[in-house]
Each structure stands twice: as C-alpha cells, then as structure tokens.
C-alpha cells in the first residue's frame, strides 16, 4: 500500500511541476514578458496607414501556415480580420502543422497593400483550390507583421 501511495505521489509531483506554459522557439530568442494580446493590438492596426509601423510583441492564435515550407503564417486579429506574418530576412520557418496553436511573435507590425498576384501566390501556398485562387481579383490592404522571433505554445 505504501508503495502505491508513493507511486501516486511521485506521479502527482511530476505532473504538477510540468511547465504548462512551455514554448518552442524559432528565430531570435524572445521571452513571454511584456506580450500584448492580439485583440488589444486591433485598434492600433485599424488606425495605421500603409507605411506606418510599430515594434511590438503579441500573442495570437494561428489561422493558417504556408504549406510549402512554413515561410509565413496568418494570425487571428478579430471579427474575421487577420495578420499576415513573415519572418525577418527569410531567416527561419515555422512548422506547417501549427494552425490553431497559440504563438507569440516579436517584431514589427505594419500595414501593407497586397497585389492580386501576391494574394494568389499566398492562396496557392496555403493549398487553396484553383477556383478560390482565381476568385482573387482585387488588391487588399492587409495587417502585416515581420517577426524576428516566434514562440509556439506546446
């Protein structure tokens, strides 16, 4: 009986000591300190003009990832809006299977206008159908982010 109680206690101890906020790091080493929630960032993005930028660290949920190499991802902003994240100097990639996971990105937030060709290229990378790709006929003002470091919650 003592051995069983000891084993249960050890399992409890190991489980309770496990870090629930464990992150996998990509790019520049960053920490979770001073992270802004992406929903708090939404008003800033909406007030920005093409060419404006700000340095920030924010937390958000991944919507989509480049299925070719993991060279970009989109994050949920709010009300159907999203943030297109690319990685500084094409210096690192993220795993292609992180849609739905929470991430912290550090870098530069800005607004960009994407051409029809750029939007079609990203739709192709995301594995969209030919019909979905061909339906893209207008450029789009987009909330963008150049990340120098990314943490993916495990």
What local confidence, expressed as pLDDT, does residue 75 receive? 96
pTM, 2 dp: 0.77
Could you give the CA distance from residue 55 to residue 44 in angstroms, rounded to a whole number? Answer: 12
Does residue 115 surpass a pLDDT of 90?
yes
Confidence grade of residue 27 (pLDDT, cut at 50, 70, 90): very high
What's residue 114's pLDDT?
A: 87
**What pLDDT sits at residue 14?**
43
Q: What is the pLDDT of residue 84?
A: 94
Nearest residue to 105 via CA among 149, 64, 40: 149
pLDDT tens, position by position, 32-82? 999 998 888 888 898 999 989 999 999 999 999 999 999 999 999 988 889
Q: Which two tokens stand for residue 128?
A: 């969209």
Strand ranges (DSSP E) for the chain? Answer: 23-27, 36-37, 53-65, 72-78, 81-87, 102-114, 140-153
Average pLDDT rounded to a whole number, residues 87-111? 97
Judge whether residue 8 has pLDDT over 60.
no
**In whole angstroms, what is the distance from residue 97 CA to residue 154 CA?**
12
The arithmetic mean of pLDDT across residues 29-33, rounded, is 96
**68 neighbors 121 (Cβ within 8 angstroms):** no
Neighbouring-strand partners of residue 104: 59, 151
Q: Is the pLDDT of residue 93 over 70?
A: yes
> What Cα–Cα distance (Å) separates residue 21 from each residue in 5, 151, 153?
28, 11, 7
Q: Can you name the CATH fold of 22-153?
A: OB fold (Dihydrolipoamide Acetyltransferase, E2P) (2.40.50)
């Amino acid at each position: 009986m003592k051995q069983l109680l000891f084993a249960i206690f050890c399992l409890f101890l190991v489980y309770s000591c496990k870090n629930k906020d464990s992150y996998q790091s990509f790019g520049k080493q960053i920490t979770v300190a001073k992270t802004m929630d992406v929903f708090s960032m939404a008003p800033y993005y909406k007030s920005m003009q093409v060419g404006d930028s700000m340095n920030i660290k924010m937390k958000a949920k991944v919507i989509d990832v480049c299925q070719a190499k993991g060279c970009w991802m989109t994050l949920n902003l709010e009300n159907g809006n999203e943030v297109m994240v690319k990685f500084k100097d094409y210096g690192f990639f993220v795993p292609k299977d992180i849609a739905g996971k929470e991430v912290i990105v550090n870098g530069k937030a800005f607004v960009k206008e994407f051409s029809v060709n750029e939007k079609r290229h990203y739709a192709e990378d995301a594995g969209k159908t030919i019909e979905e790709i061909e339906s893209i006929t207008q450029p789009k003002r987009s909330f963008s982010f150049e990340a120098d470091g990314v943490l993916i919650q495990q």
